[in-house]
Amino acid sequence: MAVPKRKTSPSRRNMRRSHHALAANSYVEDKDTGELRRPHHVDLKSGMYRGRQVITPKDA
């Protein structure tokens, strides 16, 4: 069984974990409504996706 020869130092451990941080969510401004939405997601208010009506919009 493989066993580490030396203890991993805190510096090396933290350098390995430097890529584990979560990035902030990205938003784009919708062309039609001007509201922020996630890229590649359906606009839930209008029901549009890539210029097509995908779902029926919710009535407020």
List all residues 6 or more positions away from 35 whose beta carbon is below 8 Å from its beta carbon. Answer: 29, 43, 45
The Cα diameter of the chain in Å comes to: 65
Contact 18, 28 (CB under 8 A): no
pTM over the 0.85 mark: no
Q: 34-59: per-residue pLDDT in tens?
A: 889 999 998 888 888 888 999 998 76
pLDDT in tens, 10-37: 999 999 999 999 999 999 998 888 889 9
